Amino acid sequence: MKILITGAAGYKGTQLVDLMLASGHEVFALDDFRYNQKVLQNHFKNPKLHLRKADVCDLNSYEDWLKQCDALLPLACLTGAPVCEKNPELARAINHQSIVDSLKVLSKNQMVLFPMTNSGYGVGGEAYCDENSPLTPLSHYAKLKVETEQEVLARENSLSFRFATLFGASYRMRYDLLVNDFMWKAMDSGEIHLFEGHFRRNFLHVLDGARVYLHALNNWDQMRGQIFNVGLSSANMTKLDLCSEIQKVVPHLQITANESMKDPDKRDYVVSNQKIEMTGFSCEMTLPQGLAELKKLFILGRSKEDSNQ
C-alpha cells in the first residue's frame, strides 16, 4: 500500500515510518521539520521511502501525494495543550483546517486514520470512559481534535483512534509528555514535585501507538467508520501511582506531594480500551519496559527541541 504520513518526523511519526517500511509498504513521509529533527536517515537507502519537507497548510505542496495514496495518516500537528495555547490560530490552521482541506482531495476509497487524543474526555468521573462517553475537551488542543474527528468521521472510509498519553523512547523525543517528563526529572534531579497526584490518566508506549495503525490497515473492513480508544489497560493510573513505578527504576527518587498546589492540566479519567482489544489488538510494551528504556536514553541528554513547549 501507499501510505502518506504527515508529521512523519515526529515522536510517533518516526516509529510509524519504521513499521510501515518493515511491513513492505511504500511510505510518503511529509514534515516541515520545525523542531530541526535529524531523523529517518536510517531509511534513506530504502527506495520505498519518499521524503518531502513541506507545510501541511500548503495543500499544493503535497496534493500529488494525497491523490495517489491508499491511506492518509494525518499526524502533523502542534501537539499538546501548551503549544496550542501559545499559537491558537496556527494550531487551528495545522491541526484542523489542513486536514479538512485534504479530505476534499481524497476519493471515497482512500482510507483516513485519524490520531485523536483521549484528553477529549476531560474530567471523566468514576466510570470508565468508553467511545460513547461524552466529550468534554478542556484545552484548545483537545477542542480542535474533537472538531476534526467529527469532520473525519463524516466521510465513510475513515476511523479515529483516541490515544492515551504516549511514553517511551523514539527518534524524536518529547519530554513534555507526562511519563517522559517525570522520568527525566527523576533521573536529572532525583525529585518530582507532584501536584494533584490523585488525577488519573492512561498511558501507551509509542511503539504500540504506531502498531495499532498497522493493525487497522490489516483489519480495515472490520474497523472502518469507528472510534477506538487506544491505551495500555494496565496503565490506567494516578500520577502518584506513576511516581511509585518510577521509584522502582530510580530508587533514590524523592516525591514531594503538594496537594495545595493546582495542576494547570485538569485531565482526570480512566479509559476503557476493551473495544480495540476485542478486535485482536494487544499492547507489546509495558510501562516498566518503557521506563527502563527511558533510563538508558537519559545517557544521551536532551536539547530544547525535545519538547513541544
Ligand X SMILES: NC(=O)c1ccc[n+]([C@@H]2O[C@H](COP(=O)([O-])OP(=O)(O)OC[C@H]3O[C@@H](n4cnc5c(N)ncnc54)[C@H](O)[C@@H]3O)[C@@H](O)[C@H]2O)c1
Which residues in this chain contact ligand X in the complex, by CB under 6 A? 6-7, 9-13, 31-35, 55-57, 75-77, 79, 94, 115, 117, 163, 165-166, 172, 174, 177, 308
Q: How far is the CB of 70 from ligand X (least distance, A)?
A: 20
Q: How far is the CB of 43 from ligand X (least distance, A)?
A: 15
Q: Which is nearer to ligand X, 178 or 257 (CB)?
A: 178
Joined together, the cell numbers standing for residue 211 give 502498531
Q: Please list, in sequence order, all residues whose beta carbon lies within 8 angstroms of the beta carbon of residue 290, skipping any fewer than 6 positions away.
A: 167, 168, 169, 179, 205
**Which of 29, 62, 56 is CA-nearest to residue 43?**
29
Q: How far is the CB of 256 from ligand X (least distance, A)?
A: 25
Q: How far is the CB of 151 from ligand X (least distance, A)?
A: 14
Q: Which is nearer to ligand X, 24 or 76 (CB)?
A: 76
Distance of alpha carbon 55 from alpha carbon 105, whole angstroms: 16
Q: Which is nearer to ligand X, 57 or 257 (CB)?
A: 57
Q: Which is nearer to ligand X, 254 or 303 (CB)?
A: 303
Q: How far is the CB of 259 from ligand X (least distance, A)?
A: 26
Q: Which is nearer to ligand X, 153 or 257 (CB)?
A: 153
Q: Determine contact, residues 224/158, Cβ cutoff 8 Å.
A: yes
Q: How far is the CB of 47 from ligand X (least distance, A)?
A: 23
Partners of residue 88 on adjacent β-strands: none
String of DSSP letters for 270-308: EE--HHHHHTT------HHHHHHHHHHHGGG---TTSS-
Q: Please list, in sequence order, all residues whose beta carbon lies within 8 angstroms of the beta carbon of residue 282, skipping any fewer than 6 positions away.
A: none
- In the bound complex, which residue of the shown chain has the CB atom lying closest to ligand X? 10
Q: How far is the CB of 52 from ligand X (least distance, A)?
A: 10
Q: Please list, in sequence order, all residues whose beta carbon lies within 8 angstroms of the beta carbon of residue 129, skipping any fewer than 6 positions away.
A: 118, 121, 229, 269, 270, 271, 272
Q: Which is nearer to ligand X, 36 or 219 (CB)?
A: 36
Q: Report the C-alpha dihedral over residues 276, 156, 151, 54, rounded to 10 degrees.
A: 90
Q: At what angle do helices 206-218 and 13-22 cross, to 10 degrees?
A: 50
Q: Which is nearer to ligand X, 128 or 175 (CB)?
A: 175
